[in-house]
Chain A
Amino acid sequence: MAEPKLRVLMVSDFFFPNFGGVENHIYYLSQCLLNLGHKVVVMTHAYGNRTGVRYMTGGLKVYYVPWRPFTMQNTFPTVYGTLPIVRTILKRERITVVHGHQAFSTLCHEALMHARTMGYRVVFTDHSLYGFADVGSIHMNKVLQFTLADIDQAICVSHTSKENTVLRSGLAPGKVFMIPNAVDTAMFKPADVRPSSDDVITIVVISRLVYRKGADLLVEVIPEVCRLYPNVRFVVGGDGPKHVRLEEMREKHSLQDRVEMLGAVPHSRVRSVLVTGHIFLNSSLTEAFCIAILEAASCGLLTVSTRVGGVLPDDMVVLAEPDPDDMVRAIEKAISILPSINPEEMHNRMKKLYSWQDVAKRTEIVYDRALKCSNRNLLERLSRFLSCGAWAGKVFCMVMIIDYLLWRLLQLLQPDDDIEEAPDINFCN
């Protein structure tokens, strides 16, 4: 078997069996990189009884490290506790590049720090937007500044996300690559027979019903649209704290037959819900990169959305401000251009606009750039940390020095040659 060109370790607290955007991204990216001939290993924390090594489709090896999550799926931050296991995994799999995901993941930050101490190349992908003003964000940004002070390359999923990350971490814009998420267009196909839009127009909403996703805007918009257009019905999928408000809205305006609440929809059934509709409505107040509208566009639905500029071409999406009147106006415009929409043609266009293979190729370029970065020794790296702040810079330097000393100690106790290297098993044939 040919020697893999790159050997990548993906690190994050967020991976399957937990479900979400980051998990999906890591999985699809890993699968496409495996298809390109590289070796990919994923490291995450244990989920319940699921610890140890598991193999997924295509030979994707997943290390469920036996650390329990303590809050919001994050492992307990012990700063140096993960050093032995990370070193063992990096040596066993002969990793060349470590790729961390999500600023909120403590395991990611720790693993990147240890990988950097041991001289590996690190790449970081940021998936979310954060503010600057509240206490939680200020601390998170400082931690991010620490991790990104010594990174080789960084990736962001949208232009807004790139600006946000650069402001939060003080990283040079030239080091940040913009590689968006993509959608599995093979899974999200339009219906064979499109539901007729002559008598009833169906608007689909699938999101978590929380404040951040604009559930309160839905409560204002749905009755107004139902009043203006008697032939429109809504299908609302998803669950959350704002569920109660939507139910109250249904009761108050007697819309039980025109607004259907499906509750939580598992991801495998999302496509079957989407193909019953003509228009997809997204009302989120802030979004780094909205995959839901890509899935909807891939199924041939016209999208009405807030705050997601630059994700879809102008003829596939109608943008609105997060204000009820503007959203109603946008829905009116969408209804008027609905007859000119061809779902099959939209699906075929989406296949060319977004694909995971394209994302993997672009990520490969980032890895190659990272490998070309020069390897600095400890003293040169410490000078990068000192610029992080008057007090913080010195604290960060201390942290890195202790990490370096602990690594040398581990090398004395368990020499590198004693760590057995895992053989590469070929699953493709």
Chain B
Amino acid sequence: MDKNLAGDSTPRPKWRKVAYGGMQIGYNDNYTDETFLGEMVMNANVVRRDLLKVMKDSVSISQYLCIVALVVLVWVHTLESSLDENSLLLLDLSLLALGFLVLLLTEEKMLLLRYIANVSFFTTGLYVLAPVYQTLTRSISSDSIWAVTVSLLLLHLFLHDYSGSTIRAPGALKSPSLTSCISVNASVVASVFVASRLPSRRHVFAVMLFSLQVFLFAPPVTYCIKKFSFGLHLLFSFGLIGLTLYSVYALHILFFVLFLVIVVVVNVVCPYWLIRMQEYKFEISGPWDEAKLCFDITD
């Protein structure tokens, strides 16, 4: 690269990659040899993904979207008075029993106990507080309520923890993150707003019970199903997708088309796009990285 600065036949000493000793004789300070970037490692920790696996994993996302869509459908039917409070209460009880059954079958003892405790606790709480919810938003106009509810539900969907569930058995490895707690809160507040638009106390109680049941317990129950058997999980998801599409079709054709498009995008288009973008992944590591401690810091 650089010419021999001495200009005569004495060979210059070999260049060393060290910082001490001042300028190296025969070399400029900007000399770069072949060992430059020799210790750089590219894409060492990158996981290569497979299209079929990504598509199967994205079924959990569309499953949750269906669950939320079904909840919204129940709300719409209740608000339109096509679903009365007795059938709603029946729906609540059957969902509770179903959840209980699933947890029993998949043998999640800790979660089961927590489930029963939480359910009894908030059922009584809800029944007592139902009159408060009923008059909560009486002074607020309906438009604001629908706008806030829709935004809260969107926030809930964006921040939801799709990989696991926020309600975990105590002693679980990963504690819930900030965004998953925010999403749970958003869904609960959205349910309260919708419930406050209903005519009678029993309506309020039934809808609140239904919404809270689904938002708080659907994630752990579906997580248990997924852990128990992946085939069962896929079957359940497809069943749920079918049920939702049918119900939305019965409601309005435009929503049906929209929902179908969303399901296709989430399940087919997004995995394909992710696999295509993988080629551009460029992870750099080298001696400049901060060293990772090999032991856990216990405070």
Mark A residues whose CB is within 8 Å of B: 129, 131-133, 157-164, 166-167, 173-180, 212, 216-217, 220, 245, 285-286, 288-289, 306-307, 309-313, 321-324, 352-355, 358, 362, 365-366
Q: Quick one: given A131-B289, A362-B23, are A178 and B29 in contact (CB under 8 Å)?
A: yes
The stretch that binds A, out of B12-20, B146-154, B253-261, is B12-20
Residue of A159, A216, A352, A366 with highest tally of chain B CB at under 10 A: A159
* A307 with B291: CB separation less than 8 A: yes
Whose C-beta in chain B lies nearest to the C-beta of A133? Answer: B283
Bound form: Cα–Cα A147–B235 in Å: 56
Nearest CB of chain A from residue B125's CB, rounded to whole Å = 41
Q: Which residues of A contact B30 (CB under 8 A)?
A: 173-178
Segment touching A, from B32-40, B48-56, B73-81, B224-232: B32-40
Which residues in window 263-299 of B have CB below 8 A to A?
Answer: 283-284, 286-291, 293-295, 297, 299
Chain B interface, >50% SS class: loop
Assign chain B's interface to a size class: 20 to 34
Chain A residue with the shortest CB-CB distance to B297: A216
6 sampled A-B residue pairs with Cβ under 8 A = A167-B284, A173-B32, A178-B30, A179-B29, A220-B295, A286-B291
Min CB distance B106 to A, Å, is 37
B-chain residues with CB within 8 Å of residue A352 when the two chains form the complex:
21
**Measured CA separation A34–B32 after assembly (Å):** 30
11 more contacts with CB within 8 A, not counting A167-B37, A365-B29, are A157-B19, A163-B288, A173-B36, A174-B32, A175-B30, A285-B293, A286-B288, A286-B290, A310-B18, A353-B22, A366-B29
Quote the shortest CB–CB distance from A365 to chain B (angstroms): 7
Complex contact B291–A158 (CB within 8 A): no
Give the Cβ gap from A171 to chain B, nearest Cβ, in Å.
Answer: 11
Closest to A284 in B: B291
Contacts of A216 in B (CB 8 A): 293, 297
| A323 touching B294, Cβ below 8 Å | yes
Tell me the complex Cα distance, A288–B290, Å: 11
Chain B residue nearest to A157 in the complex (CB): B19
Which residue of chain A is the closest to B35 with respect to CB atoms?
Answer: A159
Given contacts A178-B29, A180-B20, A362-B29, contact A163 B293 (CB under 8 A): no
Please give the distance in Å from A109's CB to the nearest CB on chain B: 21
Residue in contact with B290 in the complex, picked from A173, A212, A245, A353, CB distance below 8 Å: A212
Complex alpha-carbon distance, A157 and B23, angstroms = 13
| CB pair B290 A163 closer than 8 Å | no
Distance, CA A161 to CA B287, complexed state (A)? 9
Instruction: Give the distance to chain A from B167, nearest Cβ to Cβ, in Å.
Output: 29
Contact A312 B20 (CB under 8 A): yes
